[in-house]
């Protein structure tokens, strides 16, 4: 949450920082700011010029047009508020007591109040309600108290000293008027990446912010501390020891992280699914064995054979994909599988046996609860594998193996292509484990064929976008919505409801369809449409009965069903067809009309599709 970019080099810093913030805005968008270190004219020192504005990035752009800030070194931030409302004062960067040090911070300083009280007793004056300003003051305090003559070293040591006083999480970048052209960064729990350009360096919370300048990146580890000048850098840890690092090449182009001709990232990402699904299974289908290969798991066939229980862990959309995975693995491999919401798992101290295999699923690879769940599993001595999209992310690096989705950057806050890719990968896992147990060659081959057919079928559903938009327009006055599905499409119902809530602000809830009579039916009314996800599968007839019960109570019904089920047109108010597909893979198709439905609702209601209120793309604070 929150986006950071810092720059030091030969170019004017402000345009680079604004462009970086534009690319990072999906991480938080309630206020933003920059601090620029002016170049020192001969005989004079540098000045820090700070510009901050609440609201969207355009507000900051306007401010910088009216009141520019020039210099070749600067730091900037786009905020998702934790402590203190979204005001100009609470926006980052924050200054220390002397006004000579500026800092941006992601994360939460948990003991900030005690530290703030102490600093106030010493005479410090704070201008914001944030925990981050306290950290800036702590660094400034350590800097002022230091006897170190080398001003750069003094700043590095001051940052280190201050970080030893705080508990919580941080990704920070700091600069000081005494050290022009010099940035210091550190991370613990909040991602930070160094960008190595020619004669310029970057520090950012996300590689997407710098990919248009350089593809050479160093993903910092927890407790790393880095300093940068335009030509040099060094990475130590917060205890002062040298740290190991690796220079990686960024695996996507700046164009991939742009909207292109689409009005919104979400729509672009929905339409990318024929390709992203293909990328998830490309090179992983083994025809002559009617199986799949997931080399990154790093497990021998014997180890895979010994697995007798699987735990799938994630948050939000990733947890819904995991639920589909639970059905798939139990069905194809007959291995007991459980889904754990990561935030519960991390504190629940669940018993894990020797042969339990734990997976964490995360698009961003940075979700704090999923990361903590992974570490909890590892602490218990378990091998925890990751199913992750973002290459180089913390989960990707710290997990004990796993598989990438290869979906390309997902920027819309509402997760779309990551869901279908996660389900695709879990299908491969289920086939792999199934073929080691009872799954026949024929059944394995059938699954591979079904997977290969998916991209064309997804394309066919996408061509109905306008039809789905017309349906959305009929229900814009809905007071709430129900999403109902059974078996493999129970998780799809949860996912459809989540999409509707987060981008349209319409209260929606997803349920196992048979649960309707156990209470939920009380919500059915003419103003509460129900979306039935009911492909022609083994529970289709049961779903028809439930649908009839809703219609008998005057509830409008939108049915997502399989081509050919035209009988539904007589009972449902609206019908959306998906191509025939195996029941097990149907969520990959049936979710797409739900993504489009929520998208068109959101646009028609005038909501900000890609930046829904109160949300941010990756949840890196608790």
Residues carrying an active site annotation = 2, 617
Residues of the chain by 3-state class (helix, strand, coil), percent to 5 = 40, 20, 35
DSSP letters spanning 337-404:
EEEEEHHHHHHH-----TTEEEEEEESSS--HHHHHHHHHHHHTT--EEEEESSTT-HHHHHSSSEEE
* Number of Cβ atoms within 10 Å of the Cβ of 68: 12
Among 414, 578, 591, 592, binds ligand M6R (CB under 6 A): 414
The answer to whether residue 362 forms part of the interface with ligand M6R (CB under 6 A) is: yes
Only one of the segments 182-190, 312-320, 400-408, 581-589 lies at the binding site for ligand M6R (rule: CB under 6 A); that segment is: 312-320
Among 97, 179, 190, 370, binds ligand M6R (CB under 6 A): 370
Among 71, 181, 316, 434, binds ligand M6R (CB under 6 A): 316
CA 518 to chain centroid, in Å, comes to 34
CA 306 to chain centroid, in Å, comes to 33
The smaller minimum CB distance to ligand M6R, of residues 304 and 621, is found at: 621
The answer to whether residue 415 forms part of the interface with ligand M6R (CB under 6 A) is: yes
Please say whether the dihedral angle defined by the alpha carbons of residues 367, 369, 370 and 373, taken in this order, is positive or negative: positive
The answer to whether residue 413 forms part of the interface with ligand M6R (CB under 6 A) is: yes
| Spatial CA neighbour of 20 closest among 45, 57, 62 | 57
The smaller minimum CB distance to ligand M6R, of residues 427 and 618, is found at: 618
Q: Buried b / exposed e across 452-465, counting CB within 10 Å, b at 16+?
A: eebbebbeebbebb
The smaller minimum CB distance to ligand M6R, of residues 133 and 610, is found at: 610
DSSP SS3 for 239 = coil
Least distance from ligand M6R to the Cβ atom of residue 16, Å: 27
Q: Which of residues 163-182 bind ligand M6R (CB under 6 A)?
A: none
DSSP letters spanning 508-562:
EEEEEGGGGGGTGGGG-BTTB-EEEE--SSTTHHHHHHHHHHHHTTT--EEEEEE
The smaller minimum CB distance to ligand M6R, of residues 177 and 410, is found at: 410
The smaller minimum CB distance to ligand M6R, of residues 208 and 444, is found at: 208
The answer to whether residue 82 forms part of the interface with ligand M6R (CB under 6 A) is: no
The answer to whether residue 619 forms part of the interface with ligand M6R (CB under 6 A) is: yes
Rounded CA separation 220/106 (Å):
14
Q: Taking CB positions, which residue lies at the least distance from ligand M6R?
A: 316
Among 420, 487, 504, 618, binds ligand M6R (CB under 6 A): 618
* Number of Cβ atoms within 10 Å of the Cβ of 497: 25
Least distance from ligand M6R to the Cβ atom of residue 414, Å: 4
Q: Which of residues 90-129 bind ligand M6R (CB under 6 A)?
A: none
The smaller minimum CB distance to ligand M6R, of residues 220 and 414, is found at: 414
Least distance from ligand M6R to the Cβ atom of residue 55, Å: 22
The answer to whether residue 364 forms part of the interface with ligand M6R (CB under 6 A) is: yes
The smaller minimum CB distance to ligand M6R, of residues 342 and 585, is found at: 342
Among 46, 237, 273, 367, binds ligand M6R (CB under 6 A): 367
Only one of the segments 109-117, 130-138, 358-366, 555-563 lies at the binding site for ligand M6R (rule: CB under 6 A); that segment is: 358-366
Please answer whether residues 186 and 226 qualify as being in contact, where contact means their C-beta atoms are separated by less than 8 angstroms: yes
The smaller minimum CB distance to ligand M6R, of residues 414 and 584, is found at: 414
Q: Which of residues 479-538 bind ligand M6R (CB under 6 A)?
A: 498, 502
Among 14, 130, 317, 562, binds ligand M6R (CB under 6 A): 317
Q: Please tell me the count of residues contacting ligand M6R according to CB under 6 A.
A: 16
Q: Which of residues 377-406 bind ligand M6R (CB under 6 A)?
A: none
Beta bridge partners of 484: 511, 532
CA 338 to chain centroid, in Å, comes to 22
Rounded CA separation 610/502 (Å):
10
Angle, nearest 10°, between helix axes 417-435 and 586-604? 170
Contacts of 3 (CB under 8 A, 6+ apart): 20, 21, 24, 25, 26, 27, 28, 77, 78, 106, 204, 205, 206, 209
The answer to whether residue 318 forms part of the interface with ligand M6R (CB under 6 A) is: yes
Provide the binding-site residues for ligand M6R, judged by CB under 6 A: 315-318, 362-364, 367, 370, 413-415, 498, 502, 618-619
């Amino acid at each position: 949450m929150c986006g950071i970019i810092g720059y030091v080099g030969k170019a004017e810093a402000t345009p680079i920082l604004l462009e970086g913030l534009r690319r990072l805005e999906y991480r938080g968008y309630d206020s933003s700011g920059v601090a620029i270190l002016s170049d020192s004219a001969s005989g004079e020192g540098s000045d820090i010029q700070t510009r901050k504005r609440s609201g969207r990035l355009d507000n900051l752009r306007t401010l910088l047009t009216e009141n520019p800030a020039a210099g070749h070194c600067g730091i900037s931030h786009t905020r998702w508020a934790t402590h203190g409302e979204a005001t100009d004062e609470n926006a980052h960067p924050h200054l220390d007591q002397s006004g000579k040090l500026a800092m941006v911070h992601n994360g939460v300083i948990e003991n900030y109040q005690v530290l703030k009280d102490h600093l106030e007793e010493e005479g410090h004056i704070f201008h914001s309600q944030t925990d981050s300003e306290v950290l800036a003051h702590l660094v400034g305090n350590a800097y002022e108290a230091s006897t170190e003559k080398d001003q750069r070293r003094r700043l590095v040591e001051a940052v280190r000293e201050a970080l030893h006083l705080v508990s919580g999480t941080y990704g920070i970048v700091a600069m000081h008027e005494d050290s022009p052209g010099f940035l210091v960064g550190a991370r613990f729990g909040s991602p930070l990446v160094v960008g190595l350009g020619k004669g310029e360096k970057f520090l950012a919370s996300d590689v997407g912010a710098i990919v248009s300048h350089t593809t050479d990146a160093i993903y910092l580890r927890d407790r790393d501390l880095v300093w940068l000048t335009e030509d040099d850098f060094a990475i130590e840890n917060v205890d002062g020891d040298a740290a190991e690092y690796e220079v990686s090449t960024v695996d996507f182009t700046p164009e991939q992280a742009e909207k292109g001709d689409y009005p919104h990232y979400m729509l672009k990402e929905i339409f990318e699914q024929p390709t992203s699904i293909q990328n998830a299974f490309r090179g992983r289908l083994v025809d002559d064995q009617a199986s799949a290969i997931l080399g990154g798991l790093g497990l021998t066939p014997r180890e895979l054979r010994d697995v007798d229980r699987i735990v799938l862990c994630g948050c939000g959309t990733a947890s819904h994909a995991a639920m589909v995975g639970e059905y798939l693995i139990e069905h194809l491999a007959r291995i007991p599988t459980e889904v754990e919401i990561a935030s519960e798992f991390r504190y629940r101290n669940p018993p894990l046996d020797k042969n339990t295999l734990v997976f964490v699923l995360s698009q961003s690879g940075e979700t704090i609860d999923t990361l903590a769940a992974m570490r909890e599993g590892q602490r218990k001595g378990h091998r925890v594998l990751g199913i992750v999209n973002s290459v180089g992310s913390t989960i990707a690096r710290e997990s004990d193996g796993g598989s990438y989705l290869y979906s390309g950057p997902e920027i819309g806050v509402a997760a779309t292509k990551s869901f279908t890719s996660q389900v695709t990968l879990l299908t491969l896992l289920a086939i792999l484990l199934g073929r080691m147990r009872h799954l026949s060659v024929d059944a394995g081959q059938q699954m591979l064929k079904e997977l290969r057919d998916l991209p064309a079928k997804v394309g066919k559903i996408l061509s109905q976008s306008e039809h789905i938009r017309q349906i959305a327009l009929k229900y814009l006055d809905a007071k709430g919505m129900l999403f109902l599905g059974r078996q493999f499409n129970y998780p799809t119902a949860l996912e459809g409801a989540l999409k509707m809530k987060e981008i349209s602000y319409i209260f929606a809830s997803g349920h196992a369809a048979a649960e309707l009579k156990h209470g939920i039916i009380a919500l059915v009314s003419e103003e509460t449409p129900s979306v039935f996800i009911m492909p022609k599968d083994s529970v289709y007839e049961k779903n028809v009965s439930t649908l009839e019960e809703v219609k008998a109570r005057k509830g409008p019904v939108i049915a997502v069903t399989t081509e050919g089920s035209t009988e539904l047109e007589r009972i449902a108010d609206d019908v959306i067809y998906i191509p025939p597909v195996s029941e097990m893979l149907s969520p990959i198709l049936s979710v797409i009309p739900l993504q489009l439905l929520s998208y068109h609702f959101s646009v028609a209601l005038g909501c900000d599709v890609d930046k829904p209120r109160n949300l941010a793309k990756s949840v890196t604070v608790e």
